[in-house]
Amino acid sequence: MSTIDAPERVAQPIPGSAPRLLVIQAPYYEAVVTGMRRGAERVLGEAGAQVTVVDVAGAFELPAALRMALAQGALPGGTGFDGFLLLGCVVKGETDHYDFICSAVCQGVMDVSTASGAAIGFGLLTVDTLQQAVARSAEDRHNKGAEAAHALLGQVALRRRWGL
């Protein structure tokens, strides 16, 4: 962990009804992703959000699951989530697999984000070691799930402000 301390943040209230949020998580590294989700749920709970959680097999599946969730919400009787939080972890190994997966997932999420304008919090850890991932999923102000939840709430608030 660096010597620079992360800021202590408080969840900002979202105007209007409680936001309905979908957490799409890839719990390949279960303890890490669970820690990130707990950090996110704390922040989202402070904001009064209604949270649904679904699992996918791995980080590579996150963009496709996001796209499916958006498509389902557009259908008659769809769930209509206000925003989406993606959580996962990729740990560097001895092959190029890490680089391809990280790049593909980040580009896939960005493509869906810019095409849809959906409110998205992106909590994908891309780390060299499992120890780095554990440090970023601990119950402290360095929890990257909590940081992604703050970003998501900001995006939901912005969409509502602009009437989207």
Q: What CATH number is associated with residue 100?
A: 3.40.50.960
Tokens of 32: 């890490």
- Whether 134 is in a domain gets the answer no
2 lies in a domain? no
Question: Above pLDDT 90, what percent of the chain?
Answer: 81
Is the pLDDT at 13 greater than 80, yes or no?
no
Does 142 participate in catalysis according to the annotation? no
Please indicate if the annotation marks 102 as binding a ligand. Answer: no
Domain-located, residue 16: no
pTM of the model: 0.92
Residue range of the domain that includes 29:
25-128+140-161
Domain count, the chain: 1
Q: What is the rounded distance in angstroms from the CA atom of residue 102 to the CA atom of residue 66? A: 16
Write the CB contacts of 6 (distance below 8 Å, at least 6 apart in sequence): 141, 142, 147
CB 26 within 8 A of CB 161: no
- Quickly count: other Cβ atoms within 10 Å of residue 133's Cβ: 22
60 carries a ligand binding annotation: yes
- Domain contains 14: no
Count Cα neighbours of 67 within 13 Å in the Cβ-side half-sphere.
Answer: 13
- 144 falls within a domain: yes
Q: Which of 48, 79, 80, 97 is flagged as catalytic? A: 97
Give me the chain's average pLDDT, please.
92
What pLDDT score was predicted for residue 62?
98
CB 84 within 8 A of CB 159: no
